[in-house]
């Protein structure tokens, strides 16, 4: 049986100046900077990527970005590319977050280009999928997730698929304090695993980490992380303070 290493990723969103970022990362490195039971990724805003990279140096914690442009360089004012992120030692990039889809009109096709560009540059994409409240209430959850997943992963090879991380984030649970029940989350995670099996074969699907995101915190994490197909968390609010983020990593390490 394959045991997937748990992954806890902190999505700081548009929070923290670089001074704040260094202070937070300093606390994280001091407490969990040497642990190897769980993969831990922090995703600060672009403005603190470089200082955070320096602060993480020599620790086991990894660096991720919250977005990127699919092109390597060129006339794309305000954008940042995969080679730029790699040059600062980022290893992961969050793509297709529901806030990017909703507020910046990102389409599945555009997100797919980013996924392919990230993989081409040895960045591991954390591809976010998830339904809105209206979609859940109308019974469209699995259909929405399937469309986002299949379109987002179009053209990804079986060989590179294990480098992809999927984050299931029900939009109605993000930043709302309303967490999906363990049954609701596990149902969608198992469905995603099934889709990955169809796309890439069973052994490959067993290697892909599927994170849950949406109001995950130390109090609800143990039950979610104990589910068969929940391999970690993409954490927003609770990643902004060292204490709660460290507790989440500890909770993930405790799941056997
Ligand atoms: P939240 O955000 O933990 O604050 O709900 C999760 C996310 O949007 O990635």
Residue range 160-212, pLDDT digits in tens: 999 999 999 999 999 888 888 999 999 999 999 999 999 999 999 999 999 99
96 lines ligand 1 (CB under 6 A): no
Per-residue confidence band for 240, with pLDDT thresholds at 50, 70 and 90: very high
Per-residue confidence band for 28, with pLDDT thresholds at 50, 70 and 90: very high
Q: Percent of the chain, pLDDT > 90?
A: 96
| pLDDT value for 78 | 97
Q: Percent of the chain, pLDDT > 70?
A: 99
Per-residue confidence band for 1, with pLDDT thresholds at 50, 70 and 90: low
DSSP the chain: ---PPPEEEEE--S---HHHHHHHHHHHHHHHTT--SSEEEEE--GGGHHHHHHHHTTSS-EEEES--BSSSSSS-TT--BHHHHHHTT--EEEES-HHHHHHS---HHHHHHHHHHHHHTTPEEEEEE---HHHHHTT-HHHHHHHHHHHHTTT--TTTGGG-EEEE--GGGTTTS-PPPHHHHHHHHHHHHHHHHHHH-HHHHTTSEEEEESS--TTTHHHHHTSTT--EEEESGGGSSHHHHHHHHHHHHH--
Average pLDDT, the chain: 97
| pLDDT value for 179 | 86
97 is catalytic: yes
- Please give the average per-residue pLDDT across 220-228, as a whole number: 97
pTM over 0.95: yes
Q: For residue 26, is pLDDT > 90? A: yes
Going by alpha carbons, the residue nearest to atom 7 of ligand 1 is: 236
Ligand 1 pocket mutation pick from 9, 41, 215 by most atoms within 8 angstroms of CB: 215
Going by alpha carbons, the residue nearest to atom 1 of ligand 1 is: 236
Residue range 29-42, pLDDT digits in tens: 999 999 999 999 99
User: Domain 8-242 sits in which CATH superfamily?
Assistant: Aldolase class I (3.20.20.70)
- Please give the average per-residue pLDDT across 118-142, as a whole number: 97
- Please give the average per-residue pLDDT across 121-148, as a whole number: 97
223 is catalytic: no
Which of 69, 92, 97, 189 is the catalytic position? 97
- Please give the average per-residue pLDDT across 9-21, as a whole number: 98
Q: For residue 2, is pLDDT > 80? A: no
């Amino acid at each position: 049986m394959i045991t997937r290493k748990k992954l806890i990723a902190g999505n700081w969103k548009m929070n923290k100046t670089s001074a704040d970022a260094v202070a937070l990362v300093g606390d994280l490195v001091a407490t969990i900077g040497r642990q190897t039971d769980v993969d831990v990724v922090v995703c600060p805003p672009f403005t603190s990527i470089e200082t955070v990279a320096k602060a993480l140096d020599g620790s086991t914690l990894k660096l991720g970005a919250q977005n990127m442009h699919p092109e390597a360089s060129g006339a794309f004012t305000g954008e940042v590319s995969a080679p730029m992120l790699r040059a600062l030692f980022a290893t992961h990039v969050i793509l297709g977050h529901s806030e990017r889809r909703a507020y910046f009109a990102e389409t599945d096709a555009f997100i797919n280009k980013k996924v392919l560009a990230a993989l081409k540059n040895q960045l591991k994409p954390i591809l976010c999928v998830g339904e809105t409240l209206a979609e859940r209430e109308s019974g469209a959850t699995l259909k929405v997730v399937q469309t986002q997943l299949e379109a987002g992963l179009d053209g990804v090879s079986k060989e590179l698929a294990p480098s992809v991380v999927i984050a299931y984030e029900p939009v109605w649970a993000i930043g709302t304090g309303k967490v999906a029940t363990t049954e609701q989350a596990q149902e969608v995670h198992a469905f995603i695993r099934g889709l990955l099996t169809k796309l890439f074969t069973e052994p490959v699907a067993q290697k892909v980490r599927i994170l849950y995101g949406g109001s995950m915190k130390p109090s609800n994490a143990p039950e979610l992380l104990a589910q068969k197909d929940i391999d970690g968390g993409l954490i927003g609010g609770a990643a902004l303070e060292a204490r709660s983020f460290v507790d989440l990593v500890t909770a993930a390490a405790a799941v056997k």
